[in-house]
Structure formats: structure tokens, C-alpha cells
Structure 1
Amino acid sequence: MKTRYQILIALMAMTGATACSFLEEEPQVICSDTFYKSEAELRYGLAGVYGALSNLNSYGNSYAMPISNTDDLSYQNRVHNVPSVYWYNHNASDTDVLGCWQIFYAGIKNANEYMAAIAESEFDPNHAYYSEARFLRAYYHFILAQAWGDVPLRTHATLAPDPEEVNLAATPQADVLQWCCSEIEELLPLLAEELDEAPSRVTQTTAAGILARIYLFLGGETVTGADKKTCFKKAAQWAWFVIDSHKHQLNPDYDQVFINMISDLYDTQYRESMWEVEFKGDRSSADKWSNGRIGDILGLQSTSSQSNFSEWNCNYSYAQYNGSLKLWDLYWSDDRTDDEKQLPVITDKRQEWNLPPYNYRGGKVDGVEYTASMDKTPYIYEKVTTFTDPTTAAGIRNCGKWRREALYEGHQNAKNLHTGINFPLLRYSDVLLMYAEAKNEDEGPSEELYDFVKEVRDRAGIATRPYGDYASQEAFRQFVRNERGRELVFEALRKYDLIRWGIFVEAMHGYALQTSDDRWSANNTLAQYALATANSVQPKHIYLPIPSKELGVNSLLKQNPMW
């Protein structure tokens, strides 16, 4: 149960509170004259460094969803009253962009101050807690450099509003990413080897998996100044570190990976979910505070006006994301064997879970009345319901990965939009695919790499064409890229994959072809929303704009090109 190691969010970064606890206790403020004289105080301080992850501006909402989750496989199904970043119509004054920038730099500030406090204490700076804070500081810098490009590299605590400290020029993106890698490689041996508090806290294998991710991005098409060959070798090396540890396996049941997150459970048998952002509660009371909106924004629509919450089968959810027609075809046709292509049923377990044939919107469908939030309501397309034909309604289904079904989440006692559903930062299936990708880019394909991808596909319950079909580097490259889409969709990774592959703008403009498909008619309102988003995408959207407010404070910063 994640209640053993729950981070209680004190939001010290935004409110000035000093620390919070991993344990189920009331958050305690540690005064400066008593700071870090005990192991318990160290935990309170470290929880404050982790706290930036679970803020509404980071993985609670803004970063994980509007900023990072609109891509070629996942589109926003609303047009009114949603943030402009959903539509790529944002600018340097956008509040989501500013909030995201601020919270990750707040996390860096907390890490720097925490590390400085330990250095002044009697504790060894090589303490595992110090190394965790150092890792998080590097991770926050990675997120910033990945999203904004050149950013200020802040490596020490600034305890006073010194203009010389505030005014800091941006460091080139490649240098920031290389610094992140060097930091993590140096501190990794000091992190915990055991997984007792994983996936709540960072371990050696977590750090190695994130290293693989950073090296892949550093070696990508949009980063200049790095030796790509070396980056791919290092990415493969650190992904292999995780694989060779034999501490993680794929859960045989893909659905269960996410049911665990919805149900407030940790999988201590397979350890596929290697690192998660923790959320707890539903804001129904002060002691059940949460900044998470996973399942509400990313989920199955369930928007009943009724208040008999104990009878609902799905808790309240706006469900603002759908899977695109391209995602449907990745499951339905791409890389399928000829035999399976002929089957009139869905056979990929990930397609069944991620794009289920129902939500809980209610209303009359094909003459049958469904009650919102209580009845599984089928989609209908071309007068055919998904309960009649489970393969219809391609491209218009809600994201089902973190569905708020009461069977898993439990019943709520009010219409609460905030959830205790965790969000994954790293899964073992991602590591397997990163290893296959990095080795292919470095050395070309092999049957060994093919087997790693096939392991992911076998868990999905689908047949795989023979290795010979993917024996060229380009064929295997596309195979892995497709598999990443099928496996990791909706997990705030796809956009940055497209960026590092150098195909982001091209892939987004691909919606123009999708919406002319007979299965997703251009007259379909949802298809038009997706097309409008795609038409807004320009090369400048590879990076976010530096917030105007930050430019006003830091005179040495310059706005990103084209913004």
C-alpha cells in the first residue's frame, strides 16, 4: 500500500513551508535553528524536495496533461473553457507555462537549500537522502531543458534576493542535459539498492532508467552539440543496468499496472512501475488533500448531475482526452500479422484497456436509455454501437488508462475532481523499449533486441511478425517507435519522443490526413477539434516560450526563437 510512504503535500515551494513527511503524519515545519538533527527531520525535508512533482502545475495537471499530453496519439476533445496550451495557442504570458516553469525551479530551489542544510549539519553529505535530492535537482533540470531548450542552470542555494543571483543567463540545452547525466552517474551508487520504498522514492534502478531517457533525448535530432553515437551507447548501457539487475519484470496483466495506481496499491511482486508521483485523497476534507487530477482530466467521461454518489459506478470525470485514429491504427493494423488483421475483434489488451468501448456519459443510445455515472454507455458511429461491434468508433474514444471506476477507486462521497491516482514516471516496459531503440541506433538491429520488443508485445497478447521483417535499421526503428506509442500512450512521453526523433511538427500535421478518413469523417466535431489543434502547431512549438514574467525578473534571459 502506498499509504506506508505517502508524501503529504505541504507545498513548501509555493507557500514557504519548510518540509513535509513521507509518512502518514501531519506535516511539520522544521525551524532553521533545529534543522536536520535527526533522521526524521531529514525525511521531512526530503519530502519537500519531492513535493514539486505532485503540484497541480507539474504532474498533478499542467505539465502532465495540457503541456505534454497533446500529441499525434492523444487529442483534446473540448473547445471551450480549456487552457490555450491544449490547442498550441499559448504565448509567453500563458499561466500554465509560467506555473510549470515556476514549480520545477521551486523544486530545484528546495533541493539546493536541502543539500546546503545537510552540508551544515552533522550528517554525511554522501547520505542517501542528500543523493536523492541531488537526483531530483538533476531531474527537474532535465524536464526544463527538454521543454524549454536553453535554461538557467542553478546549482546552489540562493538564500537572499541578490540581483546577481537572480540574473542568470541560460545554459545551452546540450550542456544542461550533459550536466544532468554527469550528476546522476556520479550519485547513482549512493542511492538505495533495495526497492523497499519504491516506486515512491528513487532507487539505483530508477536513476539508471532516467539516465537512459536523458541520453536518448540528448542524442536526439533537436539537440545540438552532443555526440549522438556516445549518447546512444550510454542510453543502452544504463537501460541494460536496469534489465541486468533482474529487479523488475513486466506484470503479466497490462490492465493491473494501472488498476494498482487507481486502487492505491503498489506492485511489490513484479515492480514494473519503477517510479510514480504520489497523490492521496480527494479534497473532501483537509486531511484528504490532493493536487492530482489524473482520472478526472485523463479518464472516462462521467458527469452526472445526480448526487447519489454511493451508487455511482464511475466517479466524476471530465475526460478531456481521446485517442486519435492514428493510435487506433497502431493497435488495429500496424505491425500486425496477416492472420490477426483478419480477426473481427480487438486482440491487443492495451487497446482494450486504453480505448474501452464505453464511458459513463449516459443518455439514449440506439433507443436504449443509459444513466450517467452508473451505466457503461456505448459509443455510436455510423448508427453502430460499440456494444454491437466493439471495433467501431475509432478515434473518438476517451482515454481509459486511469478510469475512475468505483470498482477500482472506491466510491466517493461528493463530486470531487481531485484524485489519489498516481502517475507513472518510469515503467520497466519503457526501459526495455529504450534499450532496443538505443542499441539499434548504435549498432543496428538484432534478434536479441527484437526479443525485448516481443516481450512487451507478448504481454499485450498479440502475435509478432518474424524478425526478418524488421532486420534493417530503419524498419526496426519504426517498429520500436510504434511500440512505444502503443505501450506508453497518455503517459506524457510521446510529445518528447516526437521532438527527439525530429518529427514533431510533421506528426502533428498528420491529423489532416486522419480527419479525411471515412472512419473519422471531417464532419465529425471531435475530428475537427483535433485538426484545429494540429493546424496550430508550428516549428516554434518544439520548445515552450520563456515566461514573460521570468524575462522581466531575469534580465540575462532571452526569449526562445520564434516566440
Structure 2
Amino acid sequence: MKKYNLLYTALTLLTVFFASCEDMLTEKPNSSYDKDGFFSTEAKADMAIMGIYNSISDYRHYGYYEMAAHASDDTYYLARTGSDNQICDMVHYTTSSTNEWVKWLWALKYQGIDRANMTISGIQGMDGYGENKNLYALEGEARFLRAFLAFDLVKYWGDVPFKTDYSSGYDDAFGGRVNRELIYDQIIEDLNFAKSNLEWATAASSPERATQGAARALLMRVWLQRAGYSLQQNGQMTRPDDATRKRYFEAVLNEWEEIQKNGYHGFYDGGYEALFKSYSEGVLNSKESIFEIAFFHQQGSRNGGAWGIYNGPQVAEPTGISPTEANNYMGRANGFFITVPEWKAFFEESDARRDVSICTYRYTWANNQHTKQERSAGSWYPGKWRREWMTPETRNKNMNYGDVNLCVLRYADVVLMAAEAYNETGSTPEAWRLLNNVRQRAGATAYTDANYEELMAARKKTHALPFISDGDAQGKFRTALYWERGFELSFEGQRKFDLIRWGVLADALKLFGEKSSVNKKDNKPYPAYQNFVTGKHELLPIPLAEIQSNPKLEGKNNNGY
């Protein structure tokens, strides 16, 4: 199924509507599309939901800036050094509360939540709401999006201001910190509502819109994150007691069982490489892609995403060609991010994920043509999104932005989440079965009791994990899962948060940073392990402007900032 874009269906009306409701909170909006009169039809309610999606798809949000929030981890880092109060500082763990990108991420997440709050309230006030399944489904979609953004707030900032009513005036725009456990409760309530009122995906549905499967998959991620470590306001990393954690893992498995019972979602039929090529080509598949954030570049604007442009292999800009020839070439890709090269050796030769995840070449430009040039270790790029895989219609549409979606909920991730929950609840054989399903799809050897040490040998020789004990069956699985989630999901936005909830981010950065060949020189391009401060950098700083304008924050930032 070819990609279509849902975000610009009613862009003009959305712009008028939300601008009128957000720009002047102290005055009643003068637009005919104000909240009181807007929610009169299902079509207009649907339009309001598009406005929530639009906040997420802003180029300053998931289109580009979010990339910095995901790195550095133990798999990749930024090709630039130095300080810029933007991407460099975020990735190198030198962020301050005045960072411009952190400010935009904060603002856009709250913008999306406020739009969701308004939409939910507006739908609930519509005529016939109580008997209208379509309105319940639309509310479910808005609640899914609110939960998605609220979960980001908790992961990035911990205890934050949070409310579920729309900020209709200046006085109610500010709030104090809310304990993250209460925010988690609301996230789960929203997702439970969503899963009860949204339809399951089918081959005819688009992963650009939330479905019941997306709500259940996000619930699995929420329960796992909640079961793990998180940084508290006193600078301590804590996690729930064992009995509570077991209950959370069981909740993960409840959602997994329902996804399995439905039976639609599974691995992409074409294989791992074809899956990621399809993302760059703009092909929608709702089988493995449970939920995608949609991007579409409009000429003359800064809309769109930078997936495969800023975080793919470098492509030199074509020069000296006429505009009519442009679609014959790939356009430019900046190649800002670099993979930690040691990971390449840890994949098996047969593992299809290796050469998809790690791209060892770039494209130079000379004599009116692109030429592939192999690069040495330390100059390799994330390869899951690439200019060369984009279609002729999109690959040279804009030098800095494109139409490549980001899949944020993928079936393989769901399988590994279920496997982790099985292991933590004592069903380790079932955990191995699921993990091996992921490996076998990629062409990697399945783990057995007989070959575990052999498959681990190369990794243990140079990168043994002293922070994970594999002295028993559960420990062996945790060790394998550490590697497997890196092999399967690298650069997709989950790795850093896995390491945080496992309580090993600082350890992993130190292990890979100290041993990486790229840091065996005076100028260390991967300095995260030196800069990272435990009890500080597990969270981002609240933007200084927010601290100064919101008296209910009492002038206090997150620990260490």
C-alpha cells in the first residue's frame, strides 16, 4: 500500500482553529472555529485530531529534534563535537536549561497534550456522544495521542506539570509538578480507553493513525518503563518493589496475549531489509508497523522530517545540474550521526540486520554523478533510512526534509517486550522462544543451552557486561536481550530508555566509550561516557524560560541542572 499523508487534509482550517485557540489565552478566540462552536460534526472532530498529529509531526519535534533526545547511547553518537546549545550539547550530555532544542521539545509536547485535552473535551460535549461509537473511537484516538506525549514527558523530565483539561486562560496555563506515578495512572487510563474503543488494524488500514493494536503495544512499553529504574527529584535512581514489578510485567503479558489473539500483526512479509527500504520508499504496511509518525514536505515550507537525511549515510549535494534533472539524483544527506563501530563485529555474518543498521559507505559527487565510497570504522552511519532508497518523486524534493515516516511501534519490538516480561515472571523458556523468533527472521542463529557461550564469545572477549549477571537462566536471558534489542532496534529511539530503565546507561556508555577505537585519540568524537553524570543526565533539564515563567515550579529544575 503506497503512503498517503493524513496531516494536511484540512491544514488551512486547522491553522485558523488552533492559532485562534492558542495564541491569546486571555481572550475569547474570535475565530468561527473556536472550541465552543467547532465540535459540531464528526468531520470537525476528526480535523481536531489531525491537529494533535500535526504537533507530533512538526519538524522541530519528531521530524528532527527528537533525534538528539535519543542519542548518545551505546550504539551511536554525533559526528560533530563542540558546543552549540542545540544538538551537540544534547547528544554529548552537556545540555543546559537554555538549550533551544529542549525548549522546543517541551513546548511541542505540551502543545499536543493541550490540543488533545481540548479535543477530548469537545468530543465529550457533542450531541449524541453517549450513543455514538464513532465519537468514542475519535476520543480513543485523542486519548492515545495524549498518552503518547505524556509518556514522553515522564521519560524525558520525570515529575512535570500535567493536567487533562484545556488551558483556556492564562491563570490555568501553569501548574506545579505532578508525581510521575499519577501521570502513569492517567496514561494507562487513556490507553485502556483507547484499546476499548479503537478497531484493530487490517491490511487496508494505515499505521499513521492509532489502532487498538497501537494502544496495546504502547501500554506494553509503558508498563515496562514503569517497572524499571527512573531518576527521582533527589538524584536517586529507584524502581518499584518486586511485587509491584511482577504485577507490571503481568500487565505487559495481558496486552501481548490480546495482540496474539487478534492475530493480524506480525513480521513484515518481505524481510528485514525490505522493511526498512519500504519506510524510505513511503510504502505503508500495518502488519509490522503498528504505529508510524507521518511526515510530508510541502514545497516552500520547513515541514517534513529528516529521517534518512540527517541520520543516514552522507550523500553529497548534486551541483551543476538543471532543475529538470534533479529527480535523477538523490539530493543531499548530511550524515550527522555515526555508529559505534564495534557493534558491527557482534552481528553474525548471516544476520540481515548488520548491513541494514550499519552503513559503511557514503556518496560523493563528481563529474555529474554520485559515486559510492567505502568508509573506515569510525565513519560509518546509521543505515535504516537512506536517501538512495527514497523514490524519485521524494528523494530530491528538498535538501533538508523529506517524507519518510518514523515507525515508533514495531511488531519486533513488541515481541521482545513480551519476551522480557516472560523472563521476569519466571517463564524463561517462552522468553527464549520469542527472542529466537526475532533472530530467525533476521537470519541469525537461534540461542540454545548448547550454543549460548559460543554465540556470546566474541562479545564477552572485548565487551563483557559486568553490570548484568548471567549466572542463572534469567541472567543469561537478560544478557542476550541487552544485545538483541541493540541488534534489532538500534537508532529507532528506544535504546537509551531501555538502558535507563535497566539502570545501566552510565555503565554501557563507559564500557563502549572507553573501548571504542574512535576514542583512541586526543580528540574523542564519542565523549558521552566522560560527560555523563549519574543522577543528572537520565533526565533533561526543564527549559529555563519555563522555570522563570511558572511560579509553581518554585524555581527548581531537575537534579543537577
Query: Which residues in structure 2 correspond to 1:379-528 (within 5 Å)?
Result: 379=375, 381=376, 393=377, 395-405=378-388, 408=391, 410=393, 412=395, 416-446=399-429, 448-467=430-449, 472-515=473-516, 517=517, 520=518, 522-523=520-521, 528=524
Deviation at 1:180, TM superposition (A): 1.1
Partner of 1:205: 213
Instruction: Please say if residues 66 and 86 of structure 1, whose CA atoms lie closer than 8 Å, have aligned partners that are also in contact.
Output: yes
Query: Which residues in structure 2 correspond to 1:181-220 (within 5 Å)?
Result: 181-195=188-202, 196-220=204-228
Partner of 2:344: 328
2-structure distance, mates of 1:454, 1:16: 50
The one-character-per-residue Cα deviations of 1:522-549 (angstroms, maximum 9, x if unpaired) are 1396xx211x232111110001111111
Instruction: Please say if residues 227 and 240 of structure 2, whose CA atoms lie closer than 8 Å, have aligned partners that are also in contact.
Output: no
Which AA in structure 1 matches 2:502?
W
Instruction: Please say if residues 108 and 140 of structure 1, whose CA atoms lie closer than 8 Å, have aligned partners that are also in contact.
Output: yes
Q: Which is worse superposed, 308-317 or 535-544?
A: 308-317
Which AA in structure 1 matches 2:359?
P
Instruction: Please say if residues 313 and 375 of structure 1, whose CA atoms lie closer than 8 Å, have aligned partners that are also in contact.
Output: no
Q: 1:86 aligns with which of 85, 91, 97?
A: 91
Partner of 1:342: none
Q: Which is worse superposed, 79-88 or 46-55?
A: 79-88
> TM-score with structure 2 length normalisation?
0.84
Q: 1:151 aligns with which of 156, 160, 168?
A: 160
Partner of 1:266: 284
The one-character-per-residue Cα deviations of 1:112-151 (angstroms, maximum 9, x if unpaired) are 1111222222151652111111121122111100111111
Query: Which residues in structure 2 correspond to 1:35-50 (within 5 Å)?
Result: 35-50=38-53
Partner of 1:160: 169
1-structure distance, mates of 2:521, 2:141: 51
2-structure distance, mates of 1:524, 1:249: 47
Partner of 2:26: none
Instruction: Please say if residues 310 and 411 of structure 1, whose CA atoms lie closer than 8 Å, have aligned partners that are also in contact.
Output: no
Partner of 2:312: 299
Mapped pair 1:53 → 2:60: no
Cα 1:411–1:2 change in 2 (3 A) is: closer
Instruction: Please say if residues 169 and 556 of structure 1, whose CA atoms lie closer than 8 Å, have aligned partners that are also in contact.
Output: yes
Partner of 1:122: 127
Instruction: Please say if residues 360 and 379 of structure 2, whose CA atoms lie closer than 8 Å, have aligned partners that are also in contact.
Output: no
Partner of 1:277: 293
Deviation at 1:556, TM superposition (A): 1.7
1-structure distance, mates of 2:354, 2:129: 49
Deviation at 1:93, TM superposition (A): 1.0
2-structure distance, mates of 1:458, 1:153: 43
Instruction: Please say if residues 30 and 41 of structure 1, whose CA atoms lie closer than 8 Å, have aligned partners that are also in contact.
Output: no
* C-alpha RMSD of matched pairs (Å): 2.7
Instruction: Please say if residues 298 and 402 of structure 1, whose CA atoms lie closer than 8 Å, have aligned partners that are also in contact.
Output: yes
2-structure distance, mates of 1:198, 1:414: 23
Cα 1:506–1:299 change in 2 (3 A) is: same
Which AA in structure 2 matches 1:102?
A
Deviation at 1:39, TM superposition (A): 2.4
Partner of 2:264: 247
Partner of 2:528: 533
Deviation at 1:201, TM superposition (A): 0.7
Structure 1: runs of 5 or more not aligned: 20-27, 333-345, 363-369, 382-392
Deviation at 1:324, TM superposition (A): 0.6
Which AA in structure 2 matches 1:193?
W
SS of the residue aligned with 1:377? Answer: strand
> TM-score with structure 1 length normalisation?
0.84
Instruction: Please say if residues 302 and 372 of structure 1, whose CA atoms lie closer than 8 Å, have aligned partners that are also in contact.
Output: no
2-structure distance, mates of 1:123, 1:53: 30
Cα 1:359–1:247 change in 2 (3 A) is: same
Taking only the aligned residue pairs, the percentage that are identical comes to 26
2-structure distance, mates of 1:13, 1:52: 15
Which AA in structure 2 matches 1:37?
S
2-structure distance, mates of 1:190, 1:492: 28
Cα 1:205–1:150 change in 2 (3 A) is: same
The one-character-per-residue Cα deviations of 1:323-349 (angstroms, maximum 9, x if unpaired) are 1134224325xxxxxxxxxxxxx3211
Partner of 2:355: 352
SS of the residue aligned with 2:77? Answer: strand
Cα 1:424–1:413 change in 2 (3 A) is: closer
1-structure distance, mates of 2:257, 2:318: 51
Q: 1:221 aligns with which of 216, 220, 229?
A: 229
The one-character-per-residue Cα deviations of 1:425-453 (angstroms, maximum 9, x if unpaired) are 1000000000000110121411x321211
Q: 1:559 aligns with which of 554, 557, 560?
A: 557
Which AA in structure 2 matches 1:431?
V
Instruction: Please say if residues 5 and 197 of structure 1, whose CA atoms lie closer than 8 Å, have aligned partners that are also in contact.
Output: no
Instruction: Please say if residues 310 and 412 of structure 1, whose CA atoms lie closer than 8 Å, have aligned partners that are also in contact.
Output: no
Partner of 1:339: none
Deviation at 1:304, TM superposition (A): 2.9
Cα 1:553–1:426 change in 2 (3 A) is: same
SS of the residue aligned with 2:311? Answer: coil
SS of the residue aligned with 1:16? Answer: helix
Partner of 1:171: 178
SS of the residue aligned with 1:405? Answer: helix
Mapped pair 1:110 → 2:122: no
1-structure distance, mates of 2:72, 2:402: 21
Runs of 4+ in structure 1 off by over 6 angstroms are 370-373
Q: 2:104 aligns with which of 83, 99, 113?
A: 99
Cα 1:371–1:321 change in 2 (3 A) is: farther
1-structure distance, mates of 2:117, 2:77: 37
